[in-house]
Structure 1
Amino acid sequence: MVISAVRRASQPSRTEIAATTGLSHSTISTISSDLIAEGILAEAKGFEPAAMKRGRPQVALALEPRAASIVAVVLSLNSLSAAVIDYAGNTMAEDTRRLVTQRMPAEALVSECIAMIRRLIDGADTSAGPVLRIAIAVQGITDSGSRKLLWSPITRHDDIPFADRLEQEFGVPVTVENDCNMIAEALRWRDPLRYRDDFIAILLSHGIGMGLVIKGELFTGTQSSGAEFGHMIHRPDGALCRCGRRGCIEAYAGNYAIWRNARLGDENAEPLADLSDDDITALADAARDHDGPEREAFRKAGEAIGFGLGSMFALFDPAPLAFVGVGATAFDLMEPHVLSAIAKTAGGLHSKAISFDTEPNEVPLKREGAMMRALLHVDQEIFAAGPASRQPATDVA
């Protein structure tokens, strides 16, 4: 509870921690003293408390950056990035590389991840603490145990055991997480007032994904990572999707689908393997400038998203929504059609409660979510358990 309070508040005083946790001042003092002695917390330097009428000045507590480090990896279509991050959340080293993911053998994808992580660890500041956790945010469906990639449009290979291979290489626990789930995790930490108990994060990018939080818990399935919103059926036997099926929401609202409708006018055309952000920006600019196939393509996208959301809201009440990714920069073109479609469904009964927000840059959110997933594991499963439960530092320290 104390570690969690410090991580959420950044540099709280012991009095503030007591107010947050409900623990007594004496208990906070004992626990914080132990954590400082163990090198997990530290008294914040340069902290200037507000003037107090009486009593001793308040001393802020902070996470000790050198206590540990984690590695956050983001694997997306044709892109791999990773960062070594210290216990306080500061980036120590990072790298990004472009890959042709759809042409690479499965082992080559895993090997690229291993090589990048190894380079970053070897090149990180020597003062960094031991690496205690690695989290991978990957575009596609992961298993519910967060061990492997079950299926993804970024590769032609299924069932890639990332966690097993990386654990063999680095000797620390590894999780493999759906990237949209990690976006939701990041939003929860960025804006806990809006994104708290129930909310939805929808990725509008080359593909369409969803991170879903219900009653404060990230939703995952019994066998997979869960909310594959983009592959819900919008129109049976409709447009060709990257997944090989027809009529998916993504086949109308993904970047490749919007481009296909605007430029080719053929829903049966093979989806493009990749599109630049500039391609989508140009389509959006044209749609705002004049009526034509570009504007119609965004209308179809908004309609597909809206009917999908309306079907979801028929099962449970609307929740705050965040649209993330380059497609969110064109959400003004889709929003009227999203709302119109929702209003035509049973979920539209509560449409006045729906609120939208947009965030165009998806990669930092994916990394932040993976980072928090890893750091929280260190907080809860390692440091909170006490010194006796900790494993010796590995060779990746």
Structure 2
Amino acid sequence: MAAMTSSARPLLNRRLAEFGTTIFAEMSALAARTGAINLGQGFPDTDGPEEVREAAVRALRDGRGNQYPPGPGVPELRTAIADHQRRRYGLALDPDREVLVTAGATEAIAAALLALVEPGDEVIALEPYYDSYAACIAMAGGTRVPVTLRPRTEGGERRFVLDLDELRAAVTPRTRLILLNTPHNPTGTVLTRAELTAVAELACERDLLVVTDEVYEHLVFDGEHVPLATLEGMRERTLTIGSAGKTFSFTGWKVGWATGAPELVAAVRSAKQFLTYVASGPFQYAVAEALRLPDAFTDGMRDDLRAKRDLLSEGLAAAGFAVYRPAGTYFVTTDIRPLGAELSHGGDGFAFCRALPERCGVVAIPNAVFYDHRDAGAPFVRFAFCKRESVLEEAVSRLKALAG
């Protein structure tokens, strides 16, 4: 052991050296130590529909999925995913060749990037981005090229906006794919049909692949969710990633999927088989049943979250934050600078979030961790509202201390 640790070469692969411990681990530990309300990490504090949970119990008792399920996913779930895409969006998929079940959307993203990206390839990602994107691009040997969503106020409403000229300018001869996320975590932006049409035209013009993370597809509060694969020219060049965790509030089950043209899915399956191989056997059967529930179930969960979004957004505004009310997802982004230089630590989101648990008994996440351009994200802080109403009310009450 002494010989190993004395080596000049670090133990950690240099591609991962920049990432360290995630901010979620740090802030969750801070919440536990201080007893603060944790609005940092995006997981619900209640389970989803009882019908779905009981479906998992039945599968366990019936011995379905207790041993290795098929590598691409159990047939019942692959068929249910294909049926869902056809019913919701008019996308016709072959469940045997165009659907792959994964260990959550995180594995789908990892497998997609490992399969489709080679060293030297450039991957465009919308900044701020979910933290695993950067790590997966690095593990694949690719170069990430961030295109920043810019804060803007339009008609009295604050939102983060994609600059399509900036996106076009980011494409080079080395660009392999665009990694898209809509509804977007952490900003809550839902890209419009016009914006997505422009992305599709660019991808077709420059012969680019697009991996699109649509895990919040059923949690759109304002506007509509438009799957990129439905747009002209995109069916054969888009890999769409979905997940049951966010839709049905069972994030611990880790059931995700990737859909697309047979060649794309086959490539991703080649990488996925050497990651988890298979996972979540009994839960796959339960998710198959969940996807067949009437739309009223997902509509009801969306409406419940919309009310929670409004509760927290209004409370944050009353506390003095500038609030970017999200059009979708679990999260609301705020600008801390209106709180004043002292309370906002000069607009330093890291310092603000590290002090907030002691000051108010609430935990949030600094958005700068989701940026390559840290200065662009410095004053923004993200709060999760996928919690019980009573928890959000208590958090809002505590945050009033910031307003004096």
Tell me, yes or no, whether TM beats 0.5.
no
What TM-score, normalized to structure 2? 0.30
What TM-score, normalized to structure 1? 0.30
